[in-house]
Structure 1
């Protein structure tokens, strides 16, 4: 940068040499150098004023392998253009881009989506991509870095937008018959004596108090009207409860680590059961 600033010193030196030696050509060259250097310096100084970059997703959550749309843009809201730009949008390595291979980033676990071009005054550039996650987890999109310079490229500048967009990928789910479970009764025959429960949010009426009724069942307004303790009667609600308990140990000892493929398969089976139960109104 110090070498580039010598442009601003070379102009007055040439002007002085030309004036001292009586050489108008050298003086003219010094004036041109001074004007070009000062204009380039000012251009670079205000290059990224009112410049913005933004990235957004059509869906912030998706299942593993499911594609969503990534939209990102850069906008210049001033008269001074960007003669050229080199944009780098940082994404996690686990994010796959349809039809494009991201460039390797300097930080481990991250890649770059790169775009190049020029940005005129009050111009906006937009890009749309289809992305998906190769693994489950939470991943990042952003920050964004843009490099540009003045018209002659004398004073390059970098600008960073720290904004990040999180992307959450749920485990891959399958139909239960694909996993070998019976599609109609994957949990087997559901038999039991306590299938009907009372729903405390649905009051059917009141009745006389019976010994053993809890205090929260007593309806004090009805008690005041009747002059005797009255207990609420709730409508029945047939609710089936399903608990999905997952053992994530894939080896005999936890300190041995884990087998990634086995763990992901187990998580997918548990997620598939949870999705199936949700669709059948299990609690």
Structure 2
């Protein structure tokens, strides 16, 4: 009889604690998950921070937090986590145990394998009682995003036409002073930057002298990227690695141009997100503009909006001139050459780089200026 009472008491205790934990364990729980930084380059390691807070006196003996994340965010293994990966997504599970009125912060190290935009949407939280018999589920919505920039390739910028890098054509009227073309020195005037001071001339004359810059035409570069990995491609890209390399080369050209003080723009027969239109960013200068270009390139989708020959025709129809155009394409044909000649006829220089399938440097299919075409 005593054993029966013990069994009944034990069963009642198990049932009672199970109902209590099932009813109250997930109450007054706070949860957040955020990236330590919201932008990075492909190949970088970043931190994903989880924070869990128990705002009640009842402890939480066992808690599992489960979420689904893109496979391109590779978790580096750590304690109290499980990761099962597929080709597109991976399941991430974290396990916690919280005392009363406790806050726990856990940092996971993640490697961004590929450019793109990655959002944290929701997590499923499961709690259990002391014996793991009764379980309760709830879901937390998350609002955080990581933008992974393409890593700019180290491009052979010296292969571009010399006027692209140096703006070597001086003009007789004021357009813009070129810091790469020094024509002499002059006396210091209020408002001149300290970076302009010519120390040798100052020592020679005994007074403060600054560099006198010549004026050259404004240097603009437009980068055109072709998403077609072969001449017969219709819409889907079969060689994604090749086009990803092309995006890295486009980022490298833009970065090199902006570091040289040039204005750089970008267009491609590719959409951003689910949009139907080809992307186009007008030329501009500076670090903020480079970040804009990187963000746009991060969000490019590997699908074709129009054929590349149509894109070249559209660029020619815009009628701009005096720009240095760099074309990046996986192939080059006579049809594309004829379309690019229309850009040259407008007074632009056009350099064609065929995206390398192997090795580091691209094959240069052509680099002719508008003057050479008109001649």
Same fold (TM over 0.5): yes
TM-score bin, normalised by smaller chain: 0.5 to 0.7
Shift of 1:130: 2.7
Other-structure match for 1:197: 175
Moved more, 28-37 or 267-276: 28-37
Aligned pair in 2 of structure 1 residues 35, 103: CA closer, same or farther (>3 Å)?
Answer: closer
Moved more, 53-62 or 249-258: 249-258
C-alpha RMSD of matched pairs (Å)? 3.3
Is the 2:169–2:216 contact (alpha carbons within 8 Å) kept by the matching residues of 1? no
Other-structure match for 2:37: 59
Is the 1:92–1:141 contact (alpha carbons within 8 Å) kept by the matching residues of 2? no
Equivalent position to 1:270, from 234, 237, 250 = 250
Shift of 1:99: 4.7
Equivalent position to 1:181, from 157, 161, 169 = 157
Shift of 1:135: 1.1
Is the 1:102–1:111 contact (alpha carbons within 8 Å) kept by the matching residues of 2? no
Aligned pair in 2 of structure 1 residues 188, 117: CA closer, same or farther (>3 Å)?
Answer: closer
Equivalent position to 1:137, from 113, 116, 119 = 116
Any idea what the Cα deviations from partners look like across 1:101-136, whole Å, max 9, x if unmatched? 96226x872213332241111112222233232111
Aligned pair count reads: 221
Any idea what the Cα deviations from partners look like across 1:34-56, whole Å, max 9, x if unmatched? 45423421321111001122111
Other-structure match for 2:93: 114
Is the 2:157–2:253 contact (alpha carbons within 8 Å) kept by the matching residues of 1? no
Q: Residues 70-109 of structure 1 correspond to what in structure 2 (within 5 A)?
A: 70-99=48-77, 103-104=83-84, 109=88
Report which structure shows greater RCO (CA 8 Å, sep ≥6).
Answer: 1
Between the aligned partners of 2:174 and 2:82, the Cα distance in structure 1 is 56
- For structure 1, the residue ranges without an aligned partner over 5 or more in a row are 1-22, 199-235
Aligned pair in 2 of structure 1 residues 83, 181: CA closer, same or farther (>3 Å)?
Answer: same
Aligned pair in 2 of structure 1 residues 115, 138: CA closer, same or farther (>3 Å)?
Answer: same
Q: Residues 221-240 of structure 1 correspond to what in structure 2 (within 5 A)?
A: 239-240=218-219
Secondary structure at the aligned position of 1:278 is classed as: helix
Other-structure match for 1:147: 126
Equivalent position to 2:137, from 158, 175, 180 = 158
Secondary structure at the aligned position of 1:266 is classed as: helix
Secondary structure at the aligned position of 1:69 is classed as: strand
Is the 2:84–2:92 contact (alpha carbons within 8 Å) kept by the matching residues of 1? no
Structure 2 residue 232 is matched with structure 1 residue 253: yes
Aligned pair in 2 of structure 1 residues 248, 187: CA closer, same or farther (>3 Å)?
Answer: farther
TM (norm. structure 2) is 0.51
Aligned pair in 2 of structure 1 residues 237, 76: CA closer, same or farther (>3 Å)?
Answer: farther
* Higher radius of gyration, 1 or 2: 1
